[in-house]
Amino acid sequence: MPQKYVDVDTLKYMLYDVHNLEGLLNRERFQDHDKESLDMFLESVKEFADREMFPYFKEMDEQPAYHKDGKVFVHNQVKTMMHKGGELGLISAPFDYDDGGLQIPLMTQTAAYYILDAANNHLPGYAALTQGAAELIVHFADEKLKETYVSKMLSGIWGGTMCLTEPQAGSSLSDVITKAIPTEEGYYHISGQKIFISGGDNDFAENVVHMVLARIEGAPKGTKGISLFVVPKNRLKQDGTLEWNDVTTVADFQKLGQKGYCTTHLGFGDKEDCRGWLVGEPNKGLHYMFMMMNAARIAVGRGASAIASAAYYASLEYANERPQGRKLSSDGKKNPDEKQTLIINHPDVRRMLLQQKSIVEGTMSLTLLAANYYDRTATATSPEEKEKYHQLLEMIIPIVKTYPSEAGIQAVNAGLQTLGGYGFCEDYILQQYYRDIRIFSIYEGTTGIQSQDLLGRKVPMKNGKVLELLSGEILKTIQEASAFEELKTHAQVLGGKLQLTQKVLGHLLPHAMQGNYERYLADASVFMEFMSLILMGWMWLDLGTHATRSLQEGGDYSHEFYNSKIHTMKYFYTYELPKTTGLSEILLNTESLTIKKDTEPII
């Protein structure tokens, strides 16, 4: 196994220097925290990850979670993740003090989980989903339900899941048919099937609390008739003991990657004795679920970025140790008498490493920016401020979920290629990262769905005012960068890309205005890639500006550290951002080739 999976200096640099976490700590909610205490938290997380997670990464792939006799068996470290992780506050940290939490900012939480995901992405999901499920209860359920479930979940004694997807519906939640029939006792009888339920069962937790979307008898069709229920695997009896609640693990899914993170098919009410408790009001289930969705989407982007980080350091280590071939001399030949060079000295290998680094650190910055918007929304001191940061978060969230996932696949792919034939072998870890990361562009709404959200809902939001708001933020960075002679060109380039975005939207929006939404959204995935690169250009200009300023005015890190950020920014502007030129050409097309017509030839 390689030595390093994340650069904690870079993570802290992003938190404090780039995204000004300290500026948040004077908010009332966070007033008990300072840089020192939060850094201690991060350090304890890193120690935990080093000791309890990273060493088991390969093993968890080789010994997948499995389903047998209606039970799911998982690796022992799942227990450690939940119990010791629970003690460490890994589940409870962002909750209110009143609910047993530490009120830490989502930025810190994101940095902490970045470390966990990079160390061993098969484990953090167990804790993160429990946290998400508990959050739904805390925010929307009544006191009784809170009392029953929350503390057990935050300590990691009980697990939690989100049950959305059904076999016949897939991503189309309006087709959810799991039934909820009210009873006079106050609870509902639940019956139905849910698939792709991560962490759906395991052999260590004495209970798993499922947050289930279901339709109350007689509810309207579509998304407006969906309610949210707490459906525990085992229900609490009056005497405080647990009895089985007719939740069955029907099967599990064996997968390409993340094999240690179980994915299950659950059946509710096969014996007609499955009880569910309504959370909040009827028919608002999807609304509640979506209130949690932004944090969930930040988490997906973060996880993908973190896996790409681990893959990057693994391939960097290899490139720094592996001698092969020779550098070209000025006659274009190689001299066999010369000693072999390390492969990191070959420009093509260096290009692949810089590609990885630019994706890893750029997406790390993007997910922390999203967490920053989240924290600012949650702790806003005025309605205007709240609205502003909520809108900014809404605008970027589909990109925060998607770009790290899609570009992360490319980054890990480049990492694997760096190892040549060894990259394809199970003795080396790159092939596992290659498999693990592949799920992220499917999780929590596929890239196709996120792209429809970006172009279909977010871009037109408030008649384009929210996009303007975001552009304003980007223009601020352009202005700051322009103050440095060495960044002027990059600032100009990014300004040009904003204008190009306007041109592209000027071409696309008329389709929507004419009611041709299908055509408007047909190339949404291409627009996603286009706009993601521009947002990454923004991230890198910002990183370059901070590094340039610190080089001139001094900072906590070495010159090498700052120079490497500036060098990677240059890489991104030279090798990645120009791809937007071709993508804009695609987006400006006047065809409708992907829209089915009656005369459409077979494909």
Contacting range for a copy of itself; rule: CB under 8 A; set: 13-21, 86-94, 227-235, 249-257 = 249-257
DSSP string, 353-395: HHHHHHHHHHHHHHHHHHHHHHHHHHT-SSHHHHHHHHHHHHH
Looking at the Cβ atoms of 293 and 344, the one nearer to a copy of itself is 344
Site residues for a copy of itself, 428-467, by CB under 8 A, read 431, 434-435, 438-439, 441-442, 446-448, 451-452, 456
Which of 52, 361, 394, 444 is catalytic? The answer is: 444
Half-sphere exposure of 101 (CA within 13 A, CB side): 21
Contacting range for a copy of itself; rule: CB under 8 A; set: 26-34, 35-43, 294-302, 588-596 = 588-596
Give the residue, chosen from 287, 526, 555, 557, that forms a contact with a copy of itself under the rule CB under 8 A: 526
Cα gap 356→580, rounded to integer Å: 18
Question: 3-state class of 125 per DSSP?
Answer: helix
**Contact status: 492 vs a copy of itself (CB under 8 A):** no
Cα gap 346→583, rounded to integer Å: 29
Strand partners, 192: 268
Closest CA to 199 of 243, 249, 236, 246: 249
Contacting range for a copy of itself; rule: CB under 8 A; set: 40-48, 66-74, 254-262, 266-274 = 254-262
Q: How far is the CB of 535 from a copy of itself (least distance, A)?
A: 17
Contacting range for a copy of itself; rule: CB under 8 A; set: 128-136, 350-358, 478-486, 498-506 = 350-358
**For residue 209, what are its two tokens?**
């609390």
Looking at the Cβ atoms of 255 and 284, the one nearer to a copy of itself is 255
Give the residue, chosen from 357, 401, 458, 497, that forms a contact with a copy of itself under the rule CB under 8 A: 357
**For residue 463, what are its two tokens?**
């008649």
Backbone torsion region of residue 480, taken as left when φ is above 0, otherwise alpha when ψ lies between -120 and 50, otherwise beta: alpha
**For residue 39, what are its two tokens?**
């850094």
Contacting range for a copy of itself; rule: CB under 8 A; set: 15-23, 382-390, 467-475, 516-524 = 516-524
Looking at the Cβ atoms of 340 and 479, the one nearer to a copy of itself is 340
Single-letter amino acid code for the residue at 210: H
Residue found under tokens 């525990």: 232
Q: How many CB atoms lie within 10 A of CB 118?
A: 32
**For residue 184, what are its two tokens?**
């006079």
**Contact status: 337 vs a copy of itself (CB under 8 A):** yes
Give the residue, chosen from 69, 553, 560, 598, that forms a contact with a copy of itself under the rule CB under 8 A: 560
Looking at the Cβ atoms of 69 and 513, the one nearer to a copy of itself is 513
**Contact status: 253 vs a copy of itself (CB under 8 A):** yes
Closest CA to 359 of 415, 320, 317, 319: 415
**Contact status: 122 vs a copy of itself (CB under 8 A):** no
Looking at the Cβ atoms of 24 and 399, the one nearer to a copy of itself is 399
**Contact status: 575 vs a copy of itself (CB under 8 A):** yes
Catalytic: 338? Answer: no
Looking at the Cβ atoms of 483 and 586, the one nearer to a copy of itself is 586
Give Cα separations from 258 to 72, 215, 439 (angstroms): 15, 31, 8
Q: What are the residue numbers of the active site?
A: 444
